A and B are shown apart, each in its own frame.
Chain A
Amino acid sequence: EPEVTQTPSHQVTQMGQEVILRCVPISNHLYFYWYRQILGQKVEFLVSFYNNEISEKSEIFDDQFSVERPDGSNFTLKIRSTKLEDSAMYFCASSERLGQGAYFGPGTRLTVL
């Protein structure tokens, strides 16, 4: 069964450093998402992406965040200058059509020291 994959599974970085979190969505899906979950808290929407552009973003998704689909398979989330409060589990998701629910990857645990 096709699945969303994410790499790395765990990323440790120093405050102020840039990180790139990578995702490979399910191949025939057209809608892509990033979410984050701070330990013990709710899953928060960051951004949705369709047709090579951001379709929606939350207040969390400020100028330090960016997304890119550099080729036909990868979908990346870049955090330019990480802060301690960026430590969280970051989930990538994709869906074939709007309204069918999204399939989530296993997540990347980001730890900012």
Chain B
Amino acid sequence: GEDVEQSLFLSVREGDSSVINCTYTDSSSTYLYWYKQEPGAGLQLLTYIFSNMDMKQDQRLTVLLNKKDKHLSLRIADTQTGDSAIYFCAEDKIIFGKGTRLHILP
């Protein structure tokens, strides 16, 4: 069946880079997504990557896709306190992982 797996928690120091990882199972996914959920808020689409790409950069965000290993990652450069949130990866039919809670240390 389809499933998306993520580590549940990540702690990084302000100014460092954060790397959030995700594995998915549906190899036919055409697009893969990263969403951000701040406390008490809805889901915000951060970025997405087409499956024939292996990298996409958007300002501080870099998405890497290893289609062979079905592995997706989100790198946030210069992590700031405003980046504290839960990050969800999702595949084509918008099946979500459980989310990775990013905690920023001062």
Listed in ascending order, the chain A residues whose CB lies under 8 Å from chain B are 33, 35, 41-45, 48, 56, 91, 93, 99-107
Contacts and interface: CB of A to CB of B under 8 A. Distances in A.
B48 A100 contact: yes
B57 interface: no
Q: How large is the interface on B (under 10, 10 to 19, 20 to 34, 35 or more residues)?
A: 20 to 34
Interface of B: 30-31, 33, 35, 41-45, 48, 50, 88, 92-99
Contact of A91 (B43, B50, B92): B43
Contact of B94 (A41, A42, A102, A107): A102
B97 A33 contact: no
B43 A43 contact: yes
B92 A99 contact: yes
Contacts, number: 49
Contacts of B45: 101-104
A45 B94 contact: yes
A106 B44 CA distance: 9
Nearest to B98: A42
B30 to A, nearest CB: 6
Contacts of A101: 31, 33, 35, 45, 48, 94
A45 B97 CA distance: 11
**Minimum-distance CB pairs A-B, first 9:** A104-B43, A43-B96, A42-B98, A106-B42, A101-B45, A104-B42, A99-B31, A101-B48, A101-B33
Contact of A42 (B30, B44, B50, B96): B96
B42 A91 contact: yes
B95 to A, nearest CB: 6
B91 to A, nearest CB: 11
Contacts of A105: 42
A18 B51 CA distance: 41
Contacts of A33: 94
